[in-house]
Amino acid sequence: MKKIILLSITSLSLLSACASSVTTPNKAYGKVPPQLVIQMTKSKNGKVTKRLAWDHPDYFGSVPRNKRKIGNNICKSAGYRKAIGYHPKAKNVNGKILPKGGYYCSK
């Protein structure tokens, strides 16, 4: 069973193109682009943490061969193993398209 993986909001600069969650990407990316969203979580001691995640990780398609190296590097720099999904029109938290697309990372 896969665990939910979310990065802290302090990693926003790295996360502008990479985040991970539970779903496995499709072979082809969806017509609607995924978007980074801020999720609030509350720990048992009451501390609230803000984290970034993709709103629809199932909208990602497979990573094209020519994007694998950069995607893997982005994911590794954020503490993940590799890029397993890509969408050329993924959006940041403000709804703007990421110039280099977005990557879905695997732990």
- Lowest-pLDDT range of 12-16, 76-80, 90-94: 12-16
Residue 89 has what pLDDT? Answer: 98
pLDDT surpasses 60 at 10: no
Longest CA pairwise span in the chain (Å): 45
Model confidence pLDDT, tens digit, residues 23-61: 667 888 899 999 999 999 988 999 999 988 999 999 999
What are the Cα distances from residue 33, in Å, to 26, 28, 29?
13, 12, 8
Q: How far apart are CA 11 and CA 28, in angstroms?
A: 28
5: CB partners within 8 A, 6+ apart: 20, 21, 80, 105, 107
Q: Give the per-residue pLDDT at 97.
A: 98
Q: Where are the domains of the chain?
A: 7-106
